[in-house]
Amino acid sequence: MIDHLFRHQYGKMVSILTRIFGLANLETIEDAVQDTFATAILSWRDKIPENPEAWLTKAAKNRTIDLFRKLNAEQKRVHTINQGPEVIAINDLFLENEIEDSQLRMIFTACHPDLNPKEQIAFALKTISGFSSKEIASALLLKEETIKKRLTRARKTIQVETISFEIPRGKELPDRLSRVLEVLYLIFNEGFHSNRKDILIRKELCGEAVRLCKIILKNEYTNQPSAYALFALMCFQSARLDSKVNEYNEIVDLKNQDRKTWYSPLIVLGNRAMTKAVKTDVFSAYHYEAAIASEHLKAITFDQTDWDKLLMWHERLYELQASPFTLLNMTLIHLQKGNLKSAKQFLTKINPKDLEQRAYLYYGTQAEYYIEKKETQKAINSLNSALELVTNESERNYLLKKKALIK
């Protein structure tokens, strides 16, 4: 109960209190919110309040004021904060639409261009989503101490550069929104295909990325076509989460997934978002990725997949944003079409090193090519190369099974 509330309420409370007390006091605010949860754990041992969210919000506000009094910070503001019109103004900030506005301000703060890109993701997961330093370190495959240093640097940069707690307007908005969407995309992808050794899917990361994207779509200035396209992509991919891994934590590839388990409400939600996303003359990478995901969902069976249309969407994606991963997917499409010559041509265009920690995917795809060519030993050699590089246990077991089936 407490863990669930912390994940969903931490970002809200930090955002609202930051809007009241300012970014300069962010660390104090975070301490106050954490203290509030510690108090809740003790106070709720016998009975949980009827409205735990309201209890937490009120307690966090009071705790913050107490801390500022003790620190003698902003004495005049703290002195008047409990009386007169200021009370009404502050209480208004706790209305639902103002809460969302505060969270959106925090999203743009976390993704501010003055912050190092590596710090942005860690700062977003901490400040907006309530992830602990340990959880962030686990998600990003880094040491906890590294995450703590990144968070400290981010807070310092915010103070030194006097970053404003606001939603950008005018000419500044497109570039700022683009970075925000990129950070949310990275968070979602880490959930959809985790880099962790022991787990392939992290639903809490996928869910958090979806939640933050919904906040962006509720604002009249930020609900741009690219944001709708990203939201559609997240919905389409999330619809398949339960079918990607079986009860034994074994990978189930797209060909063998039970399509009846694909969650139709999310598919419907994604289709609605795409309808709004295409009301533009300029398509983003998210548009094409969403179109690709949608095409897979449309196929009643794997054999009924429209590989020609998928190839077209991948070609357009590659024209817009050249990526070795797109080339890899185009290789697989040509293999499904039985066009081994084209598959080979695409494989030769890829340098496995460009795939970085996912270089094993190249050798796994290469193995598929050799399997289709009936070159058994070369297929086994490719799988051995993949096994040397893969770190996730589910993916390793998947490759081992594939190797065992080669005859």
Q: What is the DSSP string of 171-223?
A: THHHHHHHHHHHHHHHHHHHHHS---SS-S--HHHHHHHHHHHHHHHTSTTT-
CB neighbourhood size of 93 (10 A):
16
Matching residue, tokens 């939600």: 269
316's CB contacts (< 8 A; 6+ apart) are 283, 288
Question: What's residue 85's pLDDT?
Answer: 42
**Residue that finishes a domain, picked among 294, 322, 350:** 322
Q: Are residues 79 and 144 in the same domain?
A: no
> Which CATH number is 388's domain given?
1.25.40
Domain that holds residue 58: 1-94
Flag whether 60 is in a domain.
yes
104's CB contacts (< 8 A; 6+ apart) are 167, 215, 216, 219, 222
**Residue that finishes a domain, picked among 94, 110, 139:** 94
Flag whether 22 is in a domain.
yes
Question: What's residue 123's pLDDT?
Answer: 92
Flag whether 248 is in a domain.
no
Distance CA 138, CA 143 (A): 8
Question: What's residue 94's pLDDT?
Answer: 65
Question: What's residue 374's pLDDT?
Answer: 94
Residues belonging to the chain:
407
Question: What's residue 255's pLDDT?
Answer: 93
Q: Are residues 24 and 83 in the same domain?
A: yes
24's CB contacts (< 8 A; 6+ apart) are 159
Q: Are residues 106 and 208 in the same domain?
A: yes
Q: Are residues 194 and 109 in the same domain?
A: yes
Are 234 and 210 a contacting pair, CB within 8 Å? yes
Flag whether 156 is in a domain.
yes
Which residues make beta-bridge pairs with 245? 251
Are 108 and 164 a contacting pair, CB within 8 Å? no
Q: Are residues 349 and 296 in the same domain?
A: no
Question: What's residue 198's pLDDT?
Answer: 75
Matching residue, tokens 């639902």: 96
pLDDT in tens, the chain (407 residues): 566 667 778 888 889 888 888 898 888 888 888 888 888 888 888 888 888 888 887 787 777 777 667 665 555 554 444 444 444 455 666 666 777 888 899 999 999 999 998 899 899 888 988 888 887 887 776 889 999 999 999 999 998 988 989 999 889 999 999 999 998 998 898 888 877 777 778 888 899 899 999 999 999 999 999 999 999 999 999 999 999 988 888 899 999 999 999 999 999 999 999 999 999 999 999 999 999 999 999 999 999 999 999 999 999 999 999 999 999 999 999 999 999 999 999 999 999 999 988 899 999 999 999 999 999 999 999 999 999 999 889 899 999 999 999 86
Q: Are residues 88 and 14 in the same domain?
A: yes
**Residue that finishes a domain, picked among 94, 122, 142:** 94
Matching residue, tokens 């505060």: 102
Flag whether 340 is in a domain.
yes
What is the reported pTM? Answer: 0.86
Question: What's residue 402's pLDDT?
Answer: 93
Distance CA 201, CA 237 (A): 12
Q: Are residues 141 and 69 in the same domain?
A: no
SS3 245: strand
Question: Alpha carbon of 129 to those of 6, 34, 218: distances in Å?
Answer: 9, 13, 18
Q: Are residues 118 and 195 in the same domain?
A: yes
Alpha helices per DSSP H over 72-95? 75-80, 85-92
Are 215 and 103 a contacting pair, CB within 8 Å? yes
Flag whether 238 is in a domain.
no
Degrees, nearest 5: CA angle 331-335-338: 140
Buried residues in 334-359 as b, exposed as e (16+ CB within 10 A)? bbbeeeeebbeebbeebebeebeebb
| Helices 2-21, 52-71: inter-axial angle, 10-degree rounding | 50
Number of compact structural domains in the chain: 4
Flag whether 205 is in a domain.
yes
The answer to whether the Cα torsion of 97, 98, 104, 110 is positive or negative is negative
Matching residue, tokens 């683009």: 178
Q: Are residues 379 and 390 in the same domain?
A: yes
Give the type of residue at 293: A
In the chain, the N- to C-terminal Cα span, in Å, equals 51
Flag whether 343 is in a domain.
yes
Token pair recorded at residue 96: 């639902």
